[in-house]
Copies of this chain bind each other. A is one copy, B any other.
Amino acid sequence: MPSRYQGPKAEIDALSAYIKLMRAAESVTTRAHAVLPKDITISQFGVLEVLLHCGPLCQTELAGKLLKSGGNITLIVDNLEKAGHVVRERSREDRRFVTVSLTDSGRAFITGLFPKVAASITRELSALSSAEQFTLGWLCKKAGTGASAPAA
């Protein structure tokens, strides 16, 4: 952000850090996910990855883990279901819940893909030493649980 704005020093420091935070997040995400095949989106990858590492979940749980809205998950799961990567199943104990599970082909797909993305993220962050990555994570965590963050 080309700030010609001249405010208090605290504000300039915060805005400067914020802009770099945003640019880094966008930049690393875009480049790290460039290894994804063209027929899958970042959001779809996110859902498959959570299902692989957490097992079958209902849509509200997916929304919580991915920090997305419920309506959003409905659409993403729709598209993953069309592609044959996941299946929906109504819970018999409480018919409000829809359990989303990986199909065999979906599991094979994400199992083959995840290591590539993990390696890609590692490569993108390789400009930072291990200690620097730790510091970055620590500062981000502190920043993300700041002033008006919901209590953990």
Contact = CB atoms under 8 A, between A and B. Distances in A.
A49 interface: yes
A139 B31 CA distance: 17
Interface stretch (A71-79, A80-88, A94-102, A126-134): A126-134
Interface string A135-150: 1111111111111110
A127 B140 contact: no
A143 B118 contact: no
A140 B2 contact: no
23 contacts: A2-B53, A4-B53, A5-B114, A6-B122, A7-B115, A11-B122, A14-B124, A15-B121, A17-B134, A20-B141, A21-B136, A23-B67, A27-B143, A28-B146, A31-B148, A34-B148, A123-B148, A125-B146, A126-B147, A132-B139, A136-B136, A136-B143, A139-B139
